[in-house]
Amino acid sequence: MLDFNVFYRLAAAIGIGLIIGLQREHTYFDQSDRHPAGVRTFTLVGLAGAMAALLSDQMGGVAPFVAGLVVMALLLFASHISFALGRRTADGLPTGKNGITTSVAVIIVYLLGGICWYGRLLESCVIVVVMLWVLSAKEQLHAFAQKLSKEDIIAIVKFAVITALVLPFLPNQSYGPPGLEVLNPRSIWLFVVFISGIGFVGYGLIKLVGPGKGIWLTGLLGGLASSTALTLNLAGRSRENEDYASDFTLGIVLSWAVMYARLYLICIFLSSALAKPLLLPLLLPVVPALGYALYLKAREFRDHRQKSADFTNPFKLLPAIKFGVIFTCVMFVANAARVYLGSGALLACSFLGGAAEMDAVAFSVIDMNLKSGLAVRELVLALLFASLANTITKGVLVCVLGAKSMRRPIIPAVVLICAVTGGLIAYYMTCV
């Protein structure tokens, strides 16, 4: 009896080889050139990987698959030797370049064929997408690498150290007085890593697309994760790159707008019944934020002010640690208010909690709504008070930690968002 699942896995392996082979074939501009593999070879290699895995499965050992891998490596080695001997001038000197990217891709396709046989098709597809991007973005990746300085490489190593070597060894346990066990070393350090990570993402975007576009793209992406961390990072960076203070302001305001939209999506994901009640309170503040961001962009476009092309490296551990300490202190005060003031002071606790992070307040009040029957009106007011405090806190952080030239343009954004939020608070307290 035919097992169509077998043919399905073999077909997936063939398809992967075919796709990668087509991409590699497309890069061979000189048809007279010799290359270790083309579209036919890649297709057969994918099939060979799946068949070798099938044989290993039938024989109860990995010998056929390993043997196929060794044979593949020897064939590639022989191909490179032949290629090197054939590309010589009349004087016997080698000519041209003999890279190994295609050969490495052949080995990966062989391994992907084996992965397909064992039914890991989703993982194989993800790897293929990454491979296609890496293989197709050759010029962009090389250009990006050439733009990096020695200091950039050292900064990346330092960031890897604080992430991979420090974070895993910190205790994932909460400390503090009874009832206030909120000081978790791993969570605090994770916030420090997160702030530094936003800096690296922004720096990479700046290197790829230029400072102007890179900064506001960082604002959009940072707002999807944490507008508070994004504000802290960009405000601190503005002191060393004051020529781009207006771009930093634009990125920060955009992150504030994205924060409201993200919070709305989180709330309706936790409770779909809140989609309509939270539509106005959480999405109306987006309007002044986006409107003011468009105004900043238009003003920047009109000014045409010459800016320095130099942009300093993003890794500064001490400022990130300071930001982590500030975040921890605010979080501790907010939890102390919740414990000592009690649930009766919901709005006060939400205001203090929102000064640190909006997500925690949203999770808390929605949980109260689902489990304790908290009224929707009280839930909405709690979120509005939290968002008001969050906006004020981020505005103060920009004024205190950012460049002096950021203070004047950031104040209108704070005033506009707070005015809309305050109007909504007055409406829900008196009219609803």
Question: Could you read off the pLDDT of 18-33 as tens digits, one per residue?
Answer: 999 888 887 765 555 5
Task: Decide: 406 and 245 in contact? Cβ < 8 Å.
Answer: yes
Minimal CA–CA distance to 409: which of 398, 420, 419? 398
Positive or negative torsion for Cα 403, 405, 408, 410: negative
| pLDDT tens digits, one per residue of 250-268 | 888 988 998 898 889 888 8
Task: Decide: 106 and 37 in contact? Cβ < 8 Å.
Answer: yes
| pLDDT tens digits, one per residue of 123-145 | 888 899 999 988 888 887 777 77
Assign 97 a pLDDT band (cuts: 50, 70, 90): low
Q: What is the model's pLDDT at position 213?
A: 64
Contacts of 60 (CB under 8 A, 6+ apart): none
Spatial separation of the C-alpha atoms in residues 207 and 148, rounded to whole Å: 8
Q: What share of the chain is helix, strand, coil (3-state, %, to 5)?
A: 80, 0, 20
